[in-house]
Amino acid sequence: MKSELWWRDAAIYQVYPRSFRDSNGDGEGDLQGVIEKLPYLQELGIDAIWLSPFYKSPNKDGGYDVSDPRDVDPRFGTVLDAKALIDEAHRLGIKFIADIVPNHFSADHIWFKAALASPQGSHERSRFHFREGKPDGTPPNNWNSIFGGPAWTQVEDGQWYLHLFDSSQPDLNWENPEVMADFEKTLRFWLDLGVDGFRIDVAHGCAKEEILVDLPDPAGLTNALRLDYLDMSKEVRAGYLSNIPFFDREGVHEIYREWRKILDSYSGDRMSVAEAWVYPSSRGARYVRQDELHQIFNFDFLMIEWDAQVMADAIKKTLAELKEVGAPATWVLCNHDSSRVVSRLGSAEKGRALAMLTHSLPGGIYIYQGEELGLPNADLPDSARQDPAFFRSGGKDKGRDMCRVPIPWEAASENYGYSTGKPWLPQPTDWQRYAADAQKGDPAGSLELYRKSLALRHSHPALGGEGEITWIDSAPGTLHFTREPGLEVLVNATPAPVEIKVSGKEILLTSSGEPELNDGVLIIPADTTVWLQR
Ligand code: NOJ
């Protein structure tokens, strides 16, 4: 059964607009470029797009450093372009989700400039976290920024301000009611313009406690927070991240309860999705209680091993945790902050099999631009890198540019049809085979697999929706379950073909290779997912 509310089982496509399509030849993607590609997205079969920030920004952190959340950065276009994009998406039956960044503003925001120009203790400063340093001249506490280096920067008169990310991203003080009032204006501005929802950046970060208290092991915590997921076991990471004074504090929930009231006051099922990294993951359900946000990204599959048992456990755990609060699950394989899935798993086949597995699960799916093309991470020289995480870590963390390289649209065009100007990040010279036009119509390609899978999510009564899944015992290294009515899903996560007894009569879709179905026995190639009709 499909969900009655569109967002509960939607396929949502993340556009990182800077790298999507450049319509004016300045080497940077823009909103008109997204409009140009909407027919491609419609044909792909997605239900909604989520755009990473396109607001006014000095662009120190890919637009997640917002200097005016109610205006569009000239690099991307104008508010009129945003309106045209929202309207055109709607005309094509595609919903539009905007990004909202409540944890911090850019240091170029008028409020922060006013704070710097105002005396200590002024209400202008109280919109941020300004504090005195320690008597020995060091920062107020030993917290580190997630991008590396201290989380505090000193200003001219000697005070320090807190920034969990880059020093150009001062954290907002949500205990000051002006902050809530300003964000309400921003939500209403975009809702009035027609957006269908918001993706909430660092949703777990807005409330801070014990701001003057030192942490016992700040270096270990910094490693646990690193974006390239250092070789640290899940348990050790969770140990570091389960109780820290600046993440997942009770105070964040008050904010989202207020936001939910605002969203509910608009017609048309507006939604919200939280980027909230919480430990243990069961705490995530708190963000999607009935009076809070609608969805929370489940990031298990952003890091998961290609191991049948681990994947089955993650699916069961996620569905059980969210069921408690009546929220739908979400499944995410990659985004603009993480390795592309085929590179992380080390094979195109595994990436495609994982995609088909998650597309068959109850709830919503998120697809990051280029994932449907099977794009790998790009190899970049350090001289091309732009991510603050690279610079602030002194180059130890290579940052996230590898997954932000502009999309190859046309194999034979200059810059693969992304731009007529010099792309802001260099595109690999051997990406012709990944180009959207090169893959079009190729039944063995990733693009056609995504199209078929998304089409089946709409047409097959067991796909999409939120119904139960029924697990069937299967050989080690494999997954086997059914969804009603009539769908049987098999995953072979081993490096050799396996034979499995099935009840399905017909192969609906295969992630790669050529499975054989004879007399109730399916031979599945290595690293493959198969959907059968029962
Ligand atoms: C999470 C965003 O996804 C990431 O790109 C950004 O750097 C941080 N939040 C800070 O806003």
pLDDT tens digit string along 65-118? 999 999 999 999 999 999 999 999 999 999 999 999 999 999 999 999 999 999
Q: In angstroms, rounded to a whole number, what is the distance separating the alpha carbons of residues 248 and 317?
A: 20
Amino acid (1-letter code) at residue 210? E
Q: Are residues 376 and 409 in the same domain?
A: yes
Q: In angstroms, rounded to a whole number, what is the distance separating the alpha carbons of residues 451 and 171?
A: 41
User: What is the distance in A from the centroid of ligand 1 to the CA of 201?
Assistant: 6
Q: Are residues 440 and 323 in the same domain?
A: yes
Q: Which helix (H) or strand (E) holds 207?
A: none
In this prediction, residue 350 carries a pLDDT of: 98
Residue 311 lies in domain: 6-103+194-207+245-454
Q: Are residues 254 and 377 in the same domain?
A: yes
Q: Are residues 409 and 489 in the same domain?
A: no
Q: Are residues 379 and 410 in the same domain?
A: yes
User: What is the distance in A from the centroid of ligand 1 to the CA of 119?
Assistant: 30
User: Going residue by residue through the chain (534 aa), what tens digit of pLDDT does each one get?
Assistant: 788 999 999 999 999 999 999 999 999 999 999 999 999 999 999 999 999 999 999 999 999 999 999 999 999 999 999 999 999 999 999 999 999 999 999 999 999 999 999 999 999 999 999 999 999 999 999 999 998 899 999 999 999 999 999 999 999 999 999 999 999 999 999 999 999 999 999 999 999 999 999 998 988 888 888 766 666 888 888 888 888 999 999 999 999 999 999 999 999 999 999 999 999 999 999 999 999 999 999 999 998 999 999 999 999 999 999 999 999 999 999 999 999 999 999 999 999 999 999 999 999 999 999 999 999 999 999 999 999 989 988 888 899 999 999 999 999 999 999 999 999 999 999 999 999 999 999 999 999 999 999 999 999 999 999 989 999 999 999 999 999 999 999 999 999 999 999 999 999 999 999 999 999 999 999 999 999 999
183, part of any domain = no
In this prediction, residue 405 carries a pLDDT of: 98
User: From the candidates 201, 300, 321, 401, which is the catalytic residue?
Assistant: 201
Given the CA of residue 335, which atom of ligand 1 is nearest to it? Answer: 3
Q: Are residues 56 and 18 in the same domain?
A: yes
In this prediction, residue 242 carries a pLDDT of: 86
In this prediction, residue 343 carries a pLDDT of: 97
Give 147's contacts (C-beta < 8 A, 6+ positions apart). 165, 166, 227, 388, 389, 392, 393, 397
In this prediction, residue 230 carries a pLDDT of: 62
Of 65, 166, 198, 201, the residue with max ligand 1 atoms within 8 A of its CB, to mutate for a pocket test, comes to 201
Give me the helices (H) in 47-176, please. Answer: 79-91, 110-117
Out of 454, 479, 510, a domain closes at 454
491, part of any domain = yes
In this prediction, residue 396 carries a pLDDT of: 84
337, part of any domain = yes
486, part of any domain = yes
User: What is the distance in A from the centroid of ligand 1 to the CA of 165?
Assistant: 8
Q: Are residues 432 and 489 in the same domain?
A: no
In the residue annotation, 275 being an active-site residue is answered as yes
Using alpha carbons, list the distances in angstroms from residue 410 to 40, 245, 440: 13, 48, 10
- The pocket around ligand 1, CB under 6 angstroms, is made up of 61-62, 64, 101, 165, 201-202, 275, 336-337
The whole-angstrom distance between residue 462's C-alpha and the CA centroid of its chain comes to 26
The answer to whether the CB of 375 falls within 8 A of the CB of 434 is: yes
Q: Are residues 267 and 375 in the same domain?
A: yes
80, part of any domain = yes
Which CATH number does the domain housing residue 513 bear? 2.60.40.1180
Q: Are residues 351 and 419 in the same domain?
A: yes
User: What is the distance in A from the centroid of ligand 1 to the CA of 164?
Assistant: 10
3-class SS at 46? coil
In the residue annotation, 30 being an active-site residue is answered as no
189, part of any domain = no
Out of 454, 487, 511, a domain closes at 454
- Within 10 A of 78 (CB to CB), how many other CB atoms are there? 14
Out of 454, 476, 501, a domain closes at 454
185, part of any domain = no
Sheet holding 11-15, edge to edge: 295-296, 271-274, 197-200, 95-100, 48-51, 11-15, 364-368, 330-332
Q: Are residues 426 and 292 in the same domain?
A: yes
Q: Whose CA is nearest to atom 11 of ligand 1?
A: 64
Which CATH number does the domain housing residue 317 bear? 3.20.20.80
In this prediction, residue 223 carries a pLDDT of: 84
In this prediction, residue 302 carries a pLDDT of: 92
Q: Are residues 514 and 372 in the same domain?
A: no
Domain count, the chain: 2
Of 165, 369, 390, 392, the residue with max ligand 1 atoms within 8 A of its CB, to mutate for a pocket test, comes to 165
In this prediction, residue 229 carries a pLDDT of: 63
In this prediction, residue 397 carries a pLDDT of: 85
Q: Are residues 299 and 391 in the same domain?
A: yes
145, part of any domain = no
Q: In angstroms, rounded to a whole number, what is the distance separating the alpha carbons of residues 469 and 457?
A: 15
